[in-house]
């Protein structure tokens, strides 16, 4: 296939699963029985900031130890070699697309970031954050992870909407289609007649809206798909 035009790719936890970062529905260990509402909402942070920091400190340590897998590298290769823009939008907060050399819009924030809830200042997060950390700009003890919580507006939405509006192909990789607004991107572009492809280890709640499906593990099927697009053997 040799069509050339902008490609928009949305990734979710499934693309990082084979880097050892569990997807959200199969989080194991210490936090297995923690309901997401207890740690990933502004209300949870107001109620128990130490608990929320502990959860994200654990995830920040895990992300720092993780390495990108073949899917992350293949998507970076596609961004480098495709003759038109390849816009990578990720719901993941682990930074693995960048670690593989890709450029991704991190719509749900980043574990590597700290954000002042008081003045909006952003800076690099220390490995361990605590409720006592002070904002380097305004001095408030209101330091939170730079993560978009349930009930908050995802980042980069205007830019994302613009890309969704003028792409040739929309691809969703390793995302369950359970969390909006990202879950609605595929239906939105499909309504405008843009081609859609879902790549996932299994069918999802939103599979029916996609024109084409590739079922398989991201580290295997994504490099093969990219190689086919670039018309060469998988590296």
Judged by the rule CB under 6 A, the positions of this chain that interact with ligand NAD are 12-14, 17-18, 23-25, 36, 40, 91-92, 108, 174-176, 178-179, 200-202, 204, 217-218
Q: Which of 53, 108, 121, 213 is catalytic?
A: 108
Specify whether 108 is catalytic.
yes
- Angle, helices 70-81 vs 218-230, to 10°: value is 20
Q: Tell me the pairing of strands 169-173 and 143-147.
A: unpaired
Residue nearest to ligand NAD (CB): 14
Indicate which of ligand NAD, Zn ion, none lies near residue 178 (CB less than 5 to 8 Å, by partner kind): ligand NAD
Residues 94-123 binding Zn ion (CB under 5 A) are 116, 118-119, 121
d(CA 28, CA 210): 31
Q: Which two structure tokens, joined as six digits, stand for 15? A: 């693309």
Determine contact, residues 74/219, Cβ cutoff 8 Å: no
Please state the closest distance from residue 33 (CB atom) to Zn ion, in A.
34
Kindly tell me the burial class for residue 195, based on how many C-beta atoms sit within 10 Å of its own C-beta (0-12, 13-18, 19 or more): middle
Distance of closest approach, residue 93 Cβ to ligand NAD, in angstroms:
7
SS3 188: helix
* Conformation bin of residue 57: beta by default, left when phi > 0, alpha when psi is -120 to 50: alpha
Burial of 33 (0-12, 13-18, 19+ CB in 10 A): exposed
d(CA 168, CA 1): 13
Q: Which is nearer to ligand NAD, 79 or 176 (CB)?
A: 176
Specify the residue, 15 or 125, whose C-beta has the smaller distance to Zn ion. 125
Using CB distances below 5 to 8 A depending on partner kind, what does residue 2 bind out of Zn ion, ligand NAD, none?
A: none
By beta-carbon proximity to Zn ion, the closer residue of 114 and 194 is 114
Which one of ligand NAD, Zn ion, none interacts with residue 123, CB within 5 to 8 A by kind? none
Residues 124-153 that bind Zn ion (CB under 5 A): 135, 137-138, 140
Closest CB to ligand NAD among residues 159, 166:
159
Q: Footprint of Zn ion on this chain (CB under 5 A)?
A: 116, 118-119, 121, 135, 137-138, 140
Catalytic residues: 108
């Amino acid at each position: 296939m040799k069509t050339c035009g902008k490609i928009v790719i949305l990734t979710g936890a499934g693309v990082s699963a084979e880097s050892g970062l569990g997807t959200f529905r199969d989080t194991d260990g210490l936090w297995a029985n923690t309901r997401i509402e207890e740690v990933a909402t502004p209300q949870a942070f107001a109620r128990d900031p130490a608990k929320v920091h502990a959860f994200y400190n654990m995830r920040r340590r895990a992300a720092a130890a993780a390495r990108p897998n073949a899917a992350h590298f293949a998507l970076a290769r596609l961004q480098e070699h495709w003759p038109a823009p390849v816009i990578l939008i990720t719901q993941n907060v682990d930074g693995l697309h960048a670690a593989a050399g890709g450029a991704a819009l991190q719509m749900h924030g980043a574990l590597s970031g700290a954000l002042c809830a008081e003045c909006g200042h952003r800076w690099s997060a220390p490995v361990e954050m605590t409720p006592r950390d002070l904002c380097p700009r305004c001095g408030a003890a209101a330091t939170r992870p730079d993560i978009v919580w349930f009930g908050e507006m995802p980042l980069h939405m205007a830019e994302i909407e613009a890309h969704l509006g003028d792409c040739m192909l929309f691809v969703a990789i390793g995302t369950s289609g359970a969390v909006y607004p990202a879950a609605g991107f595929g239906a939105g572009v499909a309504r405008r007649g843009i081609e859609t492809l879902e790549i996932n280890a299994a069918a999802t709640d939103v599979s029916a809206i996609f024109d084409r499906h590739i079922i398989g593990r991201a580290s295997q099927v994504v490099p093969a798909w990219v190689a086919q697009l670039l018309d060469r053997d998988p590296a």
